[in-house]
Amino acid sequence: MAQFDLYPNPHQESAEAIPYLLEIQNDLHRLLSTRVVIPLARGQKAIRLLNPVITYRDEYLVAMTEQMVSVPRELLTRPVANLSRYRNEIVDALDFLVNGF
């Protein structure tokens, strides 16, 4: 598990709309039993700065920063990618959510 790892959404009922969860928790906290993730959604409108648009496998996904959540570590089994190339956009979105700028 690493910061900015991308995982398939383990919840069948929401996986069509939200196919992936993006781990944003710093690796320093790897021993905690939970991970903080941002859902990546299909077909959502993005608010500039708050919802970075991420491309994965030629699909545009919207990072629903305002819907970040903590999930049990065991739900995140195998990452399919690492999206650290979007680090700046994700951190900026978190700053915008918390600080308003």
Question: What are the pLDDT digits (tens) for 30-88?
Answer: 899 999 999 999 999 999 999 999 999 999 999 999 999 999 999 999 999 999 999 99
For residues 14-37, average pLDDT: 95
SS3 at position 20: strand
CATH architecture of 5-99: Roll (2.30)
Whole-prediction pTM:
0.94
| Domain ranges within the chain, ordered by starting residue | 5-99
Residues 76-92 have pLDDT tens digits of 999 999 999 999 999 99
At 74 the pLDDT is 95
18 phi/psi in degrees, rounded to 5:
-125, 85
Confidence at 24, pLDDT banded by 50, 70, 90: very high
Residue with tokens 């991308």: 6
pLDDT of residue 26: 94
